[in-house]
Every structure is written in structure tokens, then in C-alpha cells.
A and B are shown apart, each in its own frame.
Chain A
Amino acid sequence: MKRILVSLAVIGLLAGAAEAQQAKTIAVSVPTADHGWTGGVVYHAMQEAKALEQRYPGLKVIVKTSPDAAAQANALEDLTTQGIDALVVLPHDPNVLTDPIRKVKQKGTFVTVVDRIADDHSIYDLYVGGDNPGLGARAAEYMKKAMPNGGDIVVIRGLPIPIDKMRVDAFNDGLKGTKINVIDSQFGNWSRDDAFKVMQDFLTKHPKIDAAWVQDDDMAVGVFEAIAQAKRTDIKFVVAGAGSKDMVKRVMDGDPMMPVDVLYSPTMVAVAMDVTALGLEDKIPVRGDYILKASLIDKANAKDFYFKDSPF
């Protein structure tokens, strides 16, 4: 009897040792590269996965992309059945994915949510996101500084979702009490083609526009093309946001039409993965909310935000 107990204990010890040796797995679930920014997310997630696997031998990082919220919910189930220790998730739609993420957390998995969250903050251990109100506020601050005597500006928003509203509200708040008037505001759906159309129509509608705030660098591509076609010289500059390599390059090269950009970088997924691995492998307590600053990118610091090999 005693011998059996001893051998059981030995087996237990061995199993325990084996578990300590056992490879840990981090699953990363992100949207498919459906536009520029998510393309950047996928790229940086892949790069960081490679870097982490090198840094922590035995660590496995799986990156899975999903085309929509429903597919992502399924992907989370599939990943959990494979057995994972931590999940880093950038949800398509945080409202739809709250319950699927909670299920993963209830299994004891460490959950990191990136960028988008719904009201329920109990579903994650760690949150890493950009500063959405900050993106609007920085842009407004720059406008205020660049146009001390006021002026007429147009705004091209993204899609009607909470992120967009947070940015626009902060931008409008930032302009309160100045002589800068938002003479028109429309949705450009974060699409180059739609932004081109909207800007063409703005140029038709308004004989004088001093500047434009375009919420995203992808849309800025269409806006610049529309301005060039109209051969209008009244527009002095455009402020965009995100930090795509093409727009950061313009800032770096001192393009007068693109003096600054505001950071809302897809690299945040890499930060999330890194901090998650820190908690998992180095046993450092990392739970908490991390908000990355919406830094103002100007000619002086642009090189710090330039990722030449990223698709975005």
C-alpha cells in the first residue's frame, strides 16, 4: 500500500515536472486583412509570432485570421479545443464576441483583448488599445496651432461605429472656442474610393476649404487624388490618422500638404502579444489596461514610426 502511494507520488512529481517542461501555446485571433489597417495587424502579428518563438524556446504562437465576427467566434472555439494557455484577440465586433471570449476565459485561459472592447471588462486579463479620443484630440490640437486665425475645414469620418464617434467627438470638443468651422462632415467608410468621391463632392460644394481632417491614412490617398484633380490651391493641408508607411513617408519627406499624422498603429497587436508572453513565460504580473498614446507624428520623429516592410 505504502509502495503504491510512493509510486503514485513519484508519478505525480514526474507529471508535474513534465508539465513545467511542456510547451506553452499562445493563440492570436485577428480579422482578415480586409483593409490597410487590418493588413498591418496581420503583418505585425506574424512578425511578432516569429520573434516570440525565437525568444522563448518551446513557446508556440498560432496566428489565425477570420473574415467576420461569426467566423471569429468559431475560430475561438477551435483554438480552445486545441488547448491554449493564452489568447490574444482583436475582435471584429466586440459586442458579438463578448460571450465567445468569456467562454475562453472561463476555461482558465489568460485572455488579452486588443483595440476593441464592449462594456463588459471582466472578460479579459489584459487590454491593449490605442487612444481613440486622443486621435481626434491630437488632430484638433494641431489644427488649432496651424490655423490660429481660424478657417473652414471638412471632415471625412470612418464607418458609423463607436470608435469613429469617440474620435469625432474628441475632435469637435478640441475645436470648441476656436474660429475653426467644420463646414461639412461625411462618412468615407475607411475606403480610398469612397473618400475620393466624398472629397470630390466637397470640392464641388465648397468654393473655399482651408484644411481637411481625414480619419484614416487609407482614405487620405483618395483625398489627395481628388484635390490634385480639382487643381485647388485653397486647401493648405490634410491631417490623417493611423501611421501607414506611405503617409509617414510623406511627413518624413516634408510634404507641405501632409505636415503631420496621428498614430493609431496596428503594431499594438505586437505589444499585446509581447506583454502576454511576458506574463506567461516570465511570470511577471501583467494584468491591466494599456492605452498606447496617439502620438503626433511630425517631420522630426517620423522615422520612429516608419515600418518599411509592413504592407500598411
Chain B
Amino acid sequence: MTQAVHDAPAGAARRINLGAVAPFLALILICALGAAANARFLSFDNLTNVLARSTFIATIAVGQTLVITGGGLDLSVGAMAAFVAGLEILFLNSGLIENATLLIVSAMALSLAVGALCGLFNGLTTTVGKIEPFIVTLGTMGIFRSLLTWLAQGGSITIRDSEVRAAYRQVYFGDLFGVPYPVLVIVGVAIVGAFILTRTAFGRRVRAVGSNEDVARYSGIGVARVRTLTYVLQGLCVAIAVVIYVPRLSSASAATGLGWELMAITAVVVGGTRLKGGVGRVWGTIAGALILEVIGNIMLLSNVVSEYLIGAVQGAIIIIAMLAQRLARNR
């Protein structure tokens, strides 16, 4: 039955559409649940809070979508975020530039450069070194986190200058016509990510490499180059998340970004990207990241679930959301 639909072009188009829409349907359903649990869920403040909070995972997960679509995996993103955040704050504390705005802009640029370099390192070690990405990024995960702990001497690194702190704080807490900057960042990153994956030659190559490496190689695609680039883009996404993360609490510690890698990978998979590679859905990933954050928010706002059982309910909702998607797609 599924096979028959697969062969018909019109049916195939419908199938993709359903697959792409399913995570959003799940999100809407969960939001309806939230509204039922607590009327304040739909308040403007709460929605912007939750959207702003999900920026880190959503942004990182867009990068992860590219990496996974290309047949890779990056477990180092959480630790990388901590490391880049630490370096950025140390730069902000160095006082190399007098002007606060200029200092902050340079710090952001530095973060992006460091993130891209970290990604390049992951990518080259995986492709040139021909080592499983799982192992490489597990290794760099330990390296990045230890480096941050070392930089912080076991404590936390905090922005010292209160003027810089106040100016930079606006990047997380400020807004444009009522829309918080972090939300604009999610939308921007998603648009660019989706464009890269679906409208560019590079995106087509990423999908080709992810669905069948050998076929891609015989078609003359530089598999190593394409894969490495996905890791560089992942590094950039991590750096963008950091640029938004640092102003929130103005500090980084060994606990920064803990578990982000699993949340990002979950968001990618919930969003409909195939873990084996070849099929990627950037907007689905965004929906996945929002689902994760919204579930946490609803759990806290409702009085129904015991504080001890929150994890179980979150896990169950994710599995149910995936099952619902599978059913919708097979229909």
C-alpha cells in the first residue's frame, strides 16, 4: 500500500507534504493541551519566554539537521557551546576595545570564527581521518568541555564590566516591534538553513552524500568536502546560539550546554529528518525544538503532574508525537 503510493508522483508529493506538516500539527496539538492546562500558557509573555528559550536548541538543531542529512552526527555541540561561550566572555573581559558596542560586535565575530574552526576540526577529523563521527565528536565533546572547565578554573566565567553586561543583555531580552531578538534569530537561521538544504547545489549534494555515499562519490561529488562543510555550518550555528546565550546570564560554567546535543538530535528526529541521512527538514527541526521546550513549559505550568514524574511525561509525549507522525505519513 505504501509502496503503491510511493510510485505515484502525485501521491509522493502529498506524502512529503504530510511528513513536513506533521511536526507542526503535533506542536499545535501540544499547545492546545497547554492552553487547557493553564490559561496563562497563551499569554504573550509566556509565549515569548518559551520561544526565546528555545533559540539555543533550535539554532543548534538546524546545524545538526545539515550534519545528519549528510550522514554525519555531532555530539560535541553542547560542549562546543560552553567552550565558545567561555572564550567570548574572556574576550569581553579583556577590555581590548574601549567602545562597548564595538567590543560586543567583535566578541560576536570572534565566537562565529571559533565556532566555525571547532566545526572544521570535527569535520576534517571525521572525513580526512576517516573516523566514525560518533567517536570523533564524543572525543571533541570531552575536549571542549574540559577546556572550558580549565579556562574557568572549575568555576564560572562572568562578564565583569557592568556597562558591557547591560548593553549586551539587550541581545537576549530586547525586542524589535515586540518580537524578541532571539525569535528573529530562530526565523533567520531557519530560512537560511532551509534555503541551503533545499535550493542550493550544496544542499542537493548533502542529501546525496547522506542517502548513498558510494553513489554520490561515483557521481563526482567530493564527499569529504561536502561533509566537512556541514560540520563547519554546525559550528557556526553553535556560535550563533552562544551569541544569544551569553547575554542571558552573562556567564558560562561547566554546566553550560549540558545535554544540548541530545536535545538537538531529538529535535531533528522529531522534526522528520531521517537519522540515517539523506532526508532533512529544517522547518520540521524548528517545530521539534519548540515541541521540546513547550512540553517542559506546560509541565511546569500545570498542577497535574508531580515534580518527580515530569521526565516520564516528557518522554511519553515525544514518543507519542513520533507515532502520530508515522501514522499520518503512512495513511
Contact = CB atoms under 8 A, between A and B. Distances in A.
B163 to A, nearest CB: 16
Contacts of A204: 40, 43, 45-46, 49, 301
A171 interface: no
Nearest to A65: B154
Secondary structure at the A interface, as helix, strand, loop or mixed, is helix
Interface residues of A, number: 37
A225 B251 CA distance: 11
A230 B46 CA distance: 10
A225 B248 contact: yes
Nearest to A201: B300
Nearest to B245: A193
Interface in B260-281: none
B153 A185 contact: no
A295 interface: no
B131 interface: no
Q: Give the interface size bracket for B toward A.
A: 20 to 34
A229 B255 CA distance: 22
B153 A43 contact: yes
Given A38-B154, A39-B154, A312-B155, A221 B251 contact: yes
Given A204-B45, A311-B153, A311-B155, A35 B253 contact: yes
B88 to A, nearest CB: 16
A205 B158 CA distance: 30
Contact of A222 (B155, B249, B307): B249
Interface in A181-197: 185-187, 190-193, 196-197
A200 B293 CA distance: 13
Q: Identify the interface centre among B155, B248, B258, B310: most chain A CB within 10 Å of its CB.
A: B155
A192 B155 contact: no
Nearest to A32: B149
A192 B249 contact: yes
A201 B34 CA distance: 13
A198 B300 contact: yes
A186 B300 contact: yes
A34 B254 contact: yes
Contacts of B301: 201, 204-205
A185 B308 CA distance: 10
Given A186-B307, A218-B253, A205 B38 contact: yes
A34 B251 CA distance: 15
Contacts of B310: 186-187
Given A204-B40, A225-B249, A187 B296 contact: no
Nearest to A200: B49
A33 B154 contact: yes
Nearest to A229: B173
Contacts of A43: 153-155
A205 B152 CA distance: 35
A310 interface: yes
Interface string A33-46: 11110111011000
Interface of B: 38, 40, 43, 45-46, 49, 53, 149, 152-156, 158, 173, 248-249, 251, 253-256, 258, 296-297, 300-301, 307-308, 310
6 contacts: A43-B154, A190-B255, A192-B249, A192-B255, A202-B300, A311-B153
Given A32-B254, A36-B253, A204-B40, 7 more contacts: A34-B254, A35-B255, A43-B155, A186-B310, A193-B249, A201-B300, A204-B45
9 closest cross-chain pairs (CB), A and B: A311-B155, A33-B154, A39-B154, A201-B300, A39-B155, A204-B46, A191-B255, A42-B154, A311-B153
Interface of A: 32-36, 38-40, 42-43, 157, 160, 185-187, 190-193, 196-198, 200-202, 204-205, 218, 221-222, 225, 229-230, 246, 310-312
